[in-house]
Amino acid sequence: MEARERIVRALAFQETDIVPYHIDFTIPARLKMAEYLGDLEFDRKINNHLAFVKAIAPGAFVEVAPGFIRDEWGVVWNRTLDPDIGNPEPVFSSPSLVGYRFPDPFDPKRFLPIVPFVERNRGKFKLLRETYTLFERAWSLRGMENLLRDFLMNPDFVNDLFNHIAAFHLTVIDRALDMGLDGVHFGDDWGWQGGLIMGAPLWRKFIKPRMAEMISLVKRKGKKAFLHCCGKVEEIFPDLVEIGLDVFNPFQPEVMDIFALKREYYGKLAFWGGISIQRLLPFGTREEVKREVKRILEELGQGGGYIAAPSHALPRDIPCENILAMLEIIEGQKFSSAALR
């Protein structure tokens, strides 16, 4: 099977010849591994099954000072400590959109990378990556504490802001999915390790309706909807199934019983992730890593519905030896002809 076919079968809850997988690295972890292996291109040699593209126009990110990047929404990100994401400096000092100009979702230049991307990745499952989908975009503009306070004190502002953000994504998704992509990967962290940041009632009031609208568009296009959302958020899995989500990531074993959830949601929701980056990979021995990764592949991969991966992009504190031990098991899977029958 090609990578794309494995993903298609896995999301249809069908057996595959091997368990599909996708391994990603933070910038510091990638540099650490490249130095360890003496190979700057090592990560391109991992036969990942997913491929991602963003609909972002050239010049959307501008370095306004060393390590400080302004995005197309006007948010300046301090990346002096965290080169992958950074810390945002809010734009809205008050709960008002007066005078603010949202980025143009119709700009044809933002879609230019998609056609060559599709050509380069025909054998992979190709996803439009819509990062900072709603909540994250809103709090990066307003500030986390201010936005959470606005949920209670300024709900009209929150509704207005969320409607504008959702409208932007709907326009981008509508055009991008007609360009040969297989789905959308939404990125929006709603949780921490103890639960939902804003609580389920407020999530259902402000976030669920907009996510439902965006996922509905994806499904009308005949495509698949993926979601990255960190934290202990399984209390809203029934809601996510209700609004049509296909794949949940990162599926953190530190805060979820990944084996029980796979059984509970089999046939309704697929999972991507599950290999611990907080306990197993940083602190386990090579043999412990191999043993647990093999167990995860055997149990979660059975019957489809699972894409193997660490429970986040690999951070810098994981020993290179443990990363190689994980890759040895994942990339060394034996092909099963039974899946082809």
Euclidean distance between CA atoms 173 and 220, whole angstroms:
11
Domains of the chain: 3-58+104-340 (3.20.20.210)
Q: Please give the pLDDT value at position 180.
A: 97
In degrees to the nearest 10, what's the CA dihedral of 196, 200, 202, 203? 70
Tokens encoding 131? 């990062």
Q: Please give the pLDDT value at position 340.
A: 47
Q: Please give the pLDDT value at position 151.
A: 98
- How far is residue 22 from each of residues 38, 64, 81, 297, 327, measured CA to CA in Å? 22, 34, 26, 13, 10
Strand partners, 50: 125
Ordered per-residue pLDDT tens for the chain, 341 residues: 999 999 999 999 999 999 999 999 999 999 999 999 999 999 999 999 999 999 998 889 999 999 999 999 999 999 998 999 999 999 999 999 999 999 999 999 999 999 999 999 999 999 999 999 999 999 999 999 999 999 999 999 999 999 999 999 999 999 999 999 999 999 999 999 999 999 999 999 999 999 999 999 999 999 999 999 999 999 999 999 999 999 999 999 999 999 999 999 999 999 999 999 999 999 999 999 999 999 999 999 999 999 999 999 999 999 999 999 999 999 999 876 555 44
Q: Please give the pLDDT value at position 335.
A: 74
Q: Please give the pLDDT value at position 336.
A: 67
Closest C-alpha among 188, 145, 196, 190 to residue 169: 188
Closest C-alpha among 9, 2, 21, 11 to residue 266: 11
As a residue count, the chain comes to 341
